[in-house]
Amino acid sequence: MHATIVVLPGDGIGPEVTVAAVSILQSVAQRYGHQFDFHECDIGGIAIDKTGEPLPVATLNAAKQADAVLLGAVGGPKWSDPSAKVRPEQGLLAIRRALGLFANLRPVRPHPAALDASPIKSELLQDVDIMVVRELTGGIYFGEKKRTTDSASDLCSYSQLEIERVVRTAATLARQRRGHLVSVDKANVLETSRLWREVTARVISEEFPDVKLEHQLVDSMAMLLLARPRDYDVIVTENMFGDILTDEASMLAGSLGLLPSASLGEGQAGLYEPIHGSAPDIAGKGIANPYATILSAAMLLRHSLGMDDEAAAIERAVDESLKAGVFTPDLARGGTSVSTEAATQSVMERI
Ligand code: IPM
Ligand code: MG
């Protein structure tokens, strides 16, 4: 098969982890007889430096035409001036929105070999397998922002349609998994959450009667996620709650550097990125964990290109690398660690 993949390295460790994932995709292509054309474009801080825009038109057009997009990370201290008019993060939000990628899939599966990297007791982590589906193009991230000298506001709004479509994505996944869906909101306080709860309940009872639905308040969910993570299958929630809960959930897996994500819309195309950020503190040192981006590339193969075997081959190779103790410093917790390149090489050899 022939596919076009747009690569957006971005800032900080973004370029290091995308180079790693692209080399893995190249070896998959070779091994399985596919042809992948990679087009690299700018996004985020580097795009601001070159063009003044965090999402240049050329980047968006290339992304729209591609079969899939692989992204590193955006942002860094250089562009963090609070009074700046343009910010790298705007590029990421704009591309998610422009491509209609309303569902962000963030799987959390602690690896048996990396349990020690987690601050949570290992016995709580056995068999944890959670899929968080985060709404990605609505809510407080995209509502009107206002600012005067002494006050500021961010509007949070959701429409029924925005809730329905992401709930359908989550329920479809729950059906393919263990059939259990938890919808997370703050319905005791927020009007948007009351709509969220109402619409979710209706979609599930009308269209997914076989899926078991449970509602949780976000504060309580934050606690339950650490207290009994094994009890959860698919979690669906709004944009900001999903952002926060998945950083928390990454600690179940031991490191932010292990969590991939897929951002999907109605069609086959999607955007794939690690959930971690640009980590400016370690950028350029060659020690960033490439596994999250490599696993995002596996999700790309599965969801956008329909290559289940190839995706599984990458996931197996990462699993084996972890089992062999091939850890970057974030996982090694002071023990022996390897570079980004060595970790990538180890995955490549196992494909
Ligand atoms: C994420 C990140 C982004 C978000 C930032 C960089 C805008 O934290 O993908 O989780 O908040 O969505
Ligand atoms: Mg985040």
All structural domains of the chain with their residue ranges: 1-102+262-351, 119-253
Tens-binned pLDDT, residue by residue, of the chain (351 aa): 999 999 999 999 999 999 999 999 999 999 999 999 999 999 999 999 999 999 999 999 999 999 999 999 999 999 999 889 999 999 999 999 999 999 999 999 999 888 988 999 999 999 999 999 999 999 999 999 999 999 999 999 999 999 999 999 999 999 999 999 999 999 999 999 999 999 999 999 999 999 999 999 999 999 999 999 999 999 999 999 999 999 999 999 989 999 999 999 999 999 999 999 999 999 999 999 999 999 999 999 999 999 999 999 999 999 999 999 999 999 998 899 999 999 999 999 999
Q: Report whether 178 contacts 210 (CB < 8 A).
A: no
Give the pLDDT of residue 324.
96
Please name the helix (run of DSSP H) or strand (run of DSSP E) that holds residue 57, with its range, or none.
helix 57-65
Q: Which of 324, 301, 328 minimizes the C-alpha distance to 312?
A: 301
CATH architecture label of 1-102+262-351: 3-Layer(aba) Sandwich (3.40)
Residue 243 Cβ inside 6 Å of ligand 1? The answer reads yes
CB of 92 closer than 6 A to ligand 1? Answer: yes
Q: What are the beta bridge partners of residue 82?
A: none
DSSP annotation of 216: E
Q: Where are the beta strands (DSSP E) in the chain?
A: 2-10, 35-40, 68-73, 103-108, 130-135, 145-147, 152-154, 180-185, 212-217, 234-237, 262-264, 270-272
Name the closest ligand to CA 93. 1
Instruction: Tell me what pLDDT residue 83 has.
Output: 87
C-alpha–C-alpha distance, residues 112 and 116, integer Å: 9
What is the predicted pLDDT for the residue at 82? Answer: 85
- Report the pLDDT value the prediction gives residue 87, as an integer from 0 to 100: 96
Burial class (CB in 10 A: 0-12, 13-18, 19+), 40: middle
* Predicted pLDDT of residue 333: 84
Query: Rounded to an integer, what is the distance from CA 269 to the centroid of its chain?
Result: 15
In angstroms, the CA 114 to CA 219 distance is: 27
Residue 135, ligand 1, Cβ within 6 A: no
Catalytic site residue 49?
Answer: no
Q: How far apart are CA 261 and CA 101, in angstroms?
A: 12
How far from 14 is each of 18, 91, 279, CA to CA, in Å?
Answer: 6, 14, 9
**Containing H/E element for 62?**
helix 57-65
Domain 1-102+262-351 and domain 119-253, same fold? Reply is yes
Q: Does domain 119-253 match CATH 3.40.50.150?
A: no
The question of whether 67 is a catalytic residue gets the answer: no
Residue 186: active-site member = yes
Compute the C-alpha angle 218/220/224, nearest 5°: 110
The pTM of this model reads: 0.96
Residue of minimum CA distance from atom 8 in ligand 1? 243
The catalytically annotated residue of 11, 186, 291, 330 is 186
